[in-house]
Structure 1
Amino acid sequence: MSAMAKKAKNFKKSKSGVYLSLGTTAFGALSVVKQAKMARQDNDTLRLIDAAVSAAAIVTGMAILYRELKRLGDDDVLLG
């Protein structure tokens, strides 16, 4: 594994990386909200279902990232 790949992997598991992932996931939620609004205006049931499934995926992703953030916070505390 190259040095750059190791740095990227470590960043992904850091608090900063988790915060960045939370931000990009929240940004993706904005596009799902837009999609849902347009689907409701157009009475497009299929696109509305797609938006609902995408929203569920975003909520699940945010929950996983929150759990990872809590786990990282627990590791920072010195036990003893």
Structure 2
Amino acid sequence: MSPMTAKAKGFKNSKPGAYLSMGTTAFGAIAVVKQARMARKEHDTLRLIDAAVSAAAIVTGLALLYRELKKLGDDDVLLG
């Protein structure tokens, strides 16, 4: 494994990596909001259901990332 690959895998399990993941997940919410607005405007029930399921997936993903962030925060505390 190259040093760059090892560094990238370590970044995924770090606080900055968790914040970046949360940001990109939240950015995906913009597309879901646009999809929901368009579905309501066009009275498309199937697209509205799809947007609701996608929104639930985003909320779940953010909750998982928040839990991971809290776990990382607990490991970083120095008990002196």
TM-score by length of 1: 0.94
Q: Measure the CA separation in 2 of the matches of 1:33 and 1:2.
A: 40
1:70 maps to 2:70: yes
**4+ residue segments displaced more than 4 Å:** none
Partner of 2:12: 12
Q: Measure the CA separation in 1 of the matches of 2:39 and 2:2.
A: 45
Using the TM superposition, give the Cα deviation of residue 22 of structure 1 relative to its aligned residue in structure 2, in angstroms.
0.6
Using the TM superposition, give the Cα deviation of residue 79 of structure 1 relative to its aligned residue in structure 2, in angstroms.
3.0
Q: Provide the identity percentage.
A: 79
1:21-76 deviations in Å (ceiling 9; x for gaps): 01001100011000000000000111101100100000000000000110111011
What count of residue pairs does the alignment treat as equivalent? 80
- The alignment partner of 1:78 has SS state of coil
Partner of 1:24: 24
Q: Measure the CA separation in 2 of the matches of 1:49 and 1:66.
A: 26
Partner of 2:43: 43
Using the TM superposition, give the Cα deviation of residue 12 of structure 1 relative to its aligned residue in structure 2, in angstroms.
0.6
Structure 2: any 5+ residue segments left out of the alignment? Answer: none
TM-score by length of 2: 0.94
- The alignment partner of 1:79 has SS state of coil
